[in-house]
Structure formats: C-alpha cells, structure tokens
Amino acid sequence: MSLGVNASVGNIYSAKSVLLRDRAKVYGNLETAGSVEKQSSTSVVTGTIVEHSDRAGAYESMYAPVLDNATLNGDFIIHHQYSFNTGETLYSHILGAGANNVEFLFNSGSNLVFNTNVCLAGSLRFQNGAKMYAPIESVVFHIGNDFQWNGIIETNDMISAAQRIMVYYYGTNRVFVQSDFAGTIVAPNAEVVVGQSGKNFYGAIYAKSIVIHQNTKITWVPFVPQQNNSVVANVTDENHFNYSINFLEI
C-alpha cells in the first residue's frame, strides 16, 4: 500500500508493506505483514504500528464475510455497449438482469437515479461531470470487468450517502477513483487507486492492493445494508435487460 503526500486515512491492515510519503497521516493503527517505510519524519501514525504481523490470516478470516458477501449466478462477458450523454437521466432498473453483459458509459451531463436496490454491470464508467444521485435506500453494485469513477455524487450529505452504497468489483483491471466518492468498494482481485490531488473518499476499501494519492482524505464510513436487502444476485437472463476504509489490503 502507498499513501501519498498529505494524504490522511484511518486504520490500515495490510498483508503487504506500507509506504508513507511526506506528511502522510494515519489516524489510527497500522498493522502489516510486511514493513512500514516512512519517506520522512513528517509521516504520522497516531496509533500503534505493528510490522511483520503474523495475524494476516486472522484478519482475512475476520473480513471474509465482506469479501465473499455476494453470490453470482452468471458471467460478465460483454455483448453490448451503451453510452449516456448530456441531459439523459437513467433509472437504475437499466442495471437489472442481463446488464452483467453490458458495458455502461455515463458521459458528462448524464444522470443515474436509483429505483432498485441491486445493480449489475459488465463494466461501469462515470466520466467527469456525470452524476449519480445518492440513493434513499441501500444499493449494492455487482461489476464484472471495469469500474472507473470520475463523476459526482449528488447529495447534501456524503457520509449518509456512503452508508448506502456498496460496490462489489470482481475484475482485475485497476480501479481509479478520480473524484469525490461515497461508498464501500470491495475489489479482491484488483488494485484500487484513489485521488490525484485534493480528493475526498467517504466509506471503506477492501482490495488486493491500495494506492492513496497526495492530498487525499479518507473518512471511514461503514455500509449499512437494508435488513430486507439481499446482496445475492442472479445475473443469468440477458433478455431481461431493459434500456427504458477501514483499509484492508489482501
């Protein structure tokens, strides 16, 4: 894991070594199965630092429900591509059954509004200026091949929005979160890269590896699922597609 200049995060648990660049701050504990490298004495960890920890297996077991909390009956082979442009407002039912075989691109000025609780996508990309309106109830995404975020969360309360958004990403392509984001990202097979400069992330990240760029602030917010909301998704029927951190590094 790499933590950039002036970046600030909460607790870190990593199965790999951790690099803290100038003025990077960890507000909490840092435990790693590898080593901790500080680029300078200006790096700060307010809690306990544990290097060469032998508890990586225990932490992996503890977080297994987070990493494995989805059952997928289907594939993410892309058969179609759809792009949405300025002035188009789409409702989340377009990310229903069969959408696991579709590549979605939300361009600047397009909008995603939620009217469902489970969303599927073969791949999902939000360009600069595309908006996703914060859901009223908890929403779970299942994304197969590519997830890229450079959009806008439309909300007056990013912390509340973060409690209601969960993204399960199953692919191996690197995930780039380039603008402010709210939600939990679970990416057991991929690296998640957050921020370039001055970005804010509200939520949590569980990933194969994590890079936090300079001047990025991470505010830990837990996902709060609906009691009656299942994250089990059946993605087999393409014909039903309708157009109309805590940080854990494993």
Does 204 map to a domain?
yes
Do 118 and 47 belong together in one domain?
no
Do 80 and 174 belong together in one domain?
yes
Q: Measuring CA to CA, which residue among 95, 11, 17, 87 is closest to residue 48?
A: 11
Do 12 and 90 belong together in one domain?
no
Return the bridge partners of 103, or none. Answer: 81, 123
Give, for all 250 residues of the chain, the pLDDT tens digit.
889 899 999 899 888 899 999 999 999 999 999 999 999 999 999 999 999 998 877 776 766 666 666 556 678 999 999 999 999 999 999 999 999 999 999 999 999 999 999 999 999 999 999 999 999 999 999 999 999 999 999 999 999 999 999 999 999 999 999 999 999 999 989 999 998 766 899 999 999 999 999 999 999 999 998 755 444 444 444 433 333 345 566 5
Question: Do 98 and 119 touch, CB atoms closer than 8 A?
Answer: no
Do 7 and 87 belong together in one domain?
no
Total domains in the fold of the chain:
2
Does 64 map to a domain?
no
Do 45 and 83 belong together in one domain?
no
Could you report how far apart the first and last alpha carbons of the chain are, in Å?
A: 10
* CA–CA distance, 141 with 148 (Å, rounded to integer): 13
Range of the domain at 27: 1-54
Does 59 map to a domain?
no
Buried residues in 25-54 as b, exposed as e (16+ CB within 10 A): bbebebbbbbebebeeeebebeeeeeeeee
Predicted TM-score (pTM) of this structure:
0.85
For position 227, what pLDDT does the model report? 58
Do 16 and 84 belong together in one domain?
no
Question: CA–CA distance from 2 to each of 12, 20, 107, 179 (Å)?
Answer: 11, 6, 30, 18
Does 104 map to a domain?
yes
* Digit-coded pLDDT (tens) for 119-164: 999 999 999 999 999 999 999 999 999 999 999 999 999 999 999 9
Do 166 and 210 belong together in one domain?
yes
